Structure 1
């Protein structure tokens, strides 16, 4: 069985190089990025000023989910953890376990890849604010951003962590300036009426905001590369979620204090909401340079973390052979899953050539890329407690079986609201994933019949 306390190296060429600060900043840097610079426009359009409640509610829900993940991550501290958990816990049937692992992993990658694409397109939008002459080059700029994220990740996890550290410090400074300026020009009348979209739209806003917290799963994804995971992983997950929830809530409160509810129905608010707020603040330096710079930096950190995390999921699927085994390749020089990095970056680059589908990509990223994998891993938590009593992780989430029940109910309510807005896109995506697994199952049935619990062979 894999060592859980603090091995000097992981399996398959990956090394333990990440400490607590590295993990917290990877998580915060990944979350506080494209989400806070793009999503508040869409949550405001859905729920009006009530979206200021949607963001902390989403943060609380994510903390509940994170407790389940934390126990799973310490039970199976492997690269690509979210895809590993179902393969270890979904009952005695190996085909069922691998199907759940495949759907979990591919869904997670879809969420991250779409997030990378959305982030790259958002960088192009914000760059156009600072340099209007570049507004006509959205797709080329997005492709360059994806390429840079790939290159930083290619030279190793330590390089990614250090780059993220510098960019996150700059980002939090810019957001602090925005919140301070917004609170000085705060107009309470912008909050009247408070609820404008009804209950369904409010939960749709919660679901969309939930997507903005998704990058904390980078920590269990790189658990194989974390020093002393038993202590570092739970602290890093909960601390980063707390910091991010406070940051998101402050920014959204300031945004709605500056921009009236009616303005959230415009297209520009769904793309660059903080840019619109900066215009209303009448601060030309903030509007023209500081905010776009902060947005670009923030969004790029999301791309860095998303690329890193998704590549580890691809690695895990290659290891359990639900994807071809060459996806498990690790570069011997930089100790990174280079095939996963190439795959994730290429798919994101292709999607970036279709910027007209921005809203549909956003919904699929939320429902298929966030809601579905979270639901599967909440069930994995139940499977860990029920089917794997011999596994004793150093962290046990409180609440027993009540914890996953609360998490699933809340997650279901949130997903129903948003899923109805692009139901065809979401259903087609899930059908394609299931169909591709079925094809592989029919061609290589022996793979799924002989696959025992992974941990039992370590």
Structure 2
């Protein structure tokens, strides 16, 4: 395959290194505390009832295990768009280029879904009911509003990175404070107005309507309720790593710290939500949970409890929190495009920088494609399911790269070294595949159709437009991807009927089969990796161009 080739940005300029530890920590945290906290507690409770509290705990553990793998890798690839460069190092240009565009597809939808969140919450307000229908689907006016919001995020991204992160740091203090305040108020109000977990009402939140949920629903809620989506933002610090003066220290701290911080916030919020729901709200089962103002769940509950001041704050936060997340994802997604341009996975003009050293062409593309994504996914929960799955798919490569670099480059200097990587990395890969399994066959099929379509488009570009020779694609290093994806589709198809499958495999049997299949895929990926000496050359080239 040869040494991975990278080029400099047009004009000879480079990205600034103005991102410190607080900037990176808050960049990841603000990516994690967005619309997920505004809607996740409601949808999790409707799926898993009171066991939804455990869903958030399980979600935090799963994402932390995945994040630990990337903490080591990010310190080895301290470049903007680092996730793109990782795949080049393990399996060469072919996989790196394809993966770069898959990463872009996982990022570009986030500003759009955050805009949908803002518009959906706003539809509860007088005069704005027409923005979405009763199912939360955007109307024409709602679509226009979302497109405008995504445009504002893009314009703000044309600022220098230091100013962007300063704005984000200020917003993040708010984004942490309001959910914490909401969780505390809900817990206290629940104790005094409803009783500790409803004990005085003759029933308990842990037992009422217990037939409307199962233990399996704890896991189904991870992708379906937006729990996985809510935790995915840790990767932002990785993507901005090339703009940090001390990436070896700052990136791992930011990645791990953001998961811990957001986990505390989300678990408190779910507990407060359960404390504040009244018994009569779930009399018909948790899946029929409803109350006045349910389109804006926490604001609606706050109003019912008599906290109009909190409801007002929440409507303000319903604009600020998603906007902060959308802002930083626009930043990170543009850096993925920037990296694609560097690695010749796309046109070189993707690396064009403005006077503030911001990749302005990539920012503009983030806006345009984000607006397009509103068409097939015109509601928050629809787009969240897609984002969760494709992100889990792209994250799956991280643990594999970690294992390959540990095997082939044992003497490589590692600013952060993950203890127990031989166990944690395979476990992380299994979790990525389980997230895909638990999303259900109805989501898995469109996911792989989108991936297949993108792959076909890239093949056309590679052979007919770029006119590259067949051997340059690196088929021998990437064929295992098709085996991996096909296996996951088959397992999902054979899975339980509660996940949209035909029921040949029960829920737990499918989990076991997915675990075994994941280990097989890891071995295939190792066998298809580049020779150790080629990986060493790529790592040296990356270091030289930092």
**Distance in 1 separating the partners of 2:407 and 2:382:** 38
Distance 1:393 1:447, change over 3 A: farther
| CA shift for structure 1 position 327 | 1.6
Aligned equivalent of 2:368:
346
Match 2:429 to one of 405, 408, 414: 408
Match 1:172 to one of 159, 173, 176: 176
Aligned equivalent of 2:115:
120
Aligned partners of 2:159 and 2:356 also within 8 Å:
yes
Match 1:272 to one of 279, 296, 315: 296
Distance 1:106 1:202, change over 3 A: farther
Aligned partners of 2:180 and 2:268 also within 8 Å:
no
Aligned partners of 1:50 and 1:196 also within 8 Å:
no
Aligned partners of 2:28 and 2:258 also within 8 Å:
yes
Aligned equivalent of 1:98:
93
Distance 1:362 1:109, change over 3 A: same
**Distance in 1 separating the partners of 2:338 and 2:317:** 32
**Distance in 2 separating the partners of 1:212 and 1:197:** 22
Residue deviations 1:54-110, cap 9 Å, x none? 1121111111111111111111111101111011122xxxxxx33332343323322
**Distance in 1 separating the partners of 2:57 and 2:470:** 44
Which stretch has the larger CA shift, 132-141 or 336-345?
132-141
Aligned equivalent of 1:5:
none
Aligned equivalent of 2:349:
326
Which stretch has the larger CA shift, 107-116 or 302-311?
107-116
Aligned length: 440
Aligned equivalent of 2:138:
none
Distance 1:410 1:355, change over 3 A: closer
Matches within 5 A, 1:10-21: 13-21=14-22
Aligned partners of 2:463 and 2:469 also within 8 Å:
no
Matches within 5 A, 1:50-449: 50-90=51-91, 97-133=92-128, 135-136=130-131, 137-186=141-190, 187=194, 188=197, 189-193=204-208, 196-207=212-223, 208-259=226-277, 260-261=281-282, 262=285, 265=288, 271-287=295-311, 289-331=312-354, 333-353=355-375, 356-368=378-390, 370-389=391-410, 391-443=412-464, 444-446=467-469, 449=472
Aligned partners of 2:184 and 2:268 also within 8 Å:
no
Aligned partners of 1:367 and 1:419 also within 8 Å:
no
**Distance in 2 separating the partners of 1:271 and 1:415:** 27
Distance 1:195 1:50, change over 3 A: farther
Q: Comparing both chains, which one has the higher relative contact order based on Cα–Cα distances under 8 Å and sequence gaps of 6 or more?
A: 1
Which stretch has the larger CA shift, 135-144 or 19-28?
135-144
Aligned equivalent of 2:499:
none
| CA shift for structure 1 position 296 | 1.1
Distance 1:99 1:360, change over 3 A: farther
Aligned equivalent of 2:508:
none
**Distance in 2 separating the partners of 1:310 and 1:419:** 27
**Distance in 2 separating the partners of 1:341 and 1:267:** 39
CA RMSD of aligned residues (A): 2.6
Which stretch has the larger CA shift, 122-131 or 208-217?
122-131
SS in 2 for 1:129: coil
Distance 1:126 1:360, change over 3 A: closer
**Distance in 2 separating the partners of 1:265 and 1:121:** 23
Which stretch has the larger CA shift, 243-252 or 41-50?
41-50
| CA shift for structure 1 position 270 | 8.1
Distance 1:267 1:437, change over 3 A: farther
Residue deviations 1:238-292, cap 9 Å, x none? 11111110001101111122225546546998853323322332322322x2111
**Distance in 2 separating the partners of 1:395 and 1:56:** 25
Aligned partners of 1:219 and 1:237 also within 8 Å:
yes
Residue deviations 1:124-168, cap 9 Å, x none? 122233454464342232122211111111112122211112222
Residue deviations 1:198-247, cap 9 Å, x none? 34432222234122111110111011101211111111111111111000
**Distance in 2 separating the partners of 1:330 and 1:387:** 36
**Distance in 1 separating the partners of 2:357 and 2:471:** 29
Residue deviations 1:291-331, cap 9 Å, x none? 11112111111101110111111111111112222222222
- Structure 1: 5+ residue stretches without partners: 2-10, 91-96
Which stretch has the larger CA shift, 42-51 or 155-164?
42-51
Distance 1:429 1:42, change over 3 A: farther
**Distance in 1 separating the partners of 2:117 and 2:174:** 18
Aligned equivalent of 2:478:
none
Aligned partners of 1:152 and 1:159 also within 8 Å:
no
Distance 1:375 1:199, change over 3 A: farther
Aligned equivalent of 1:8:
none
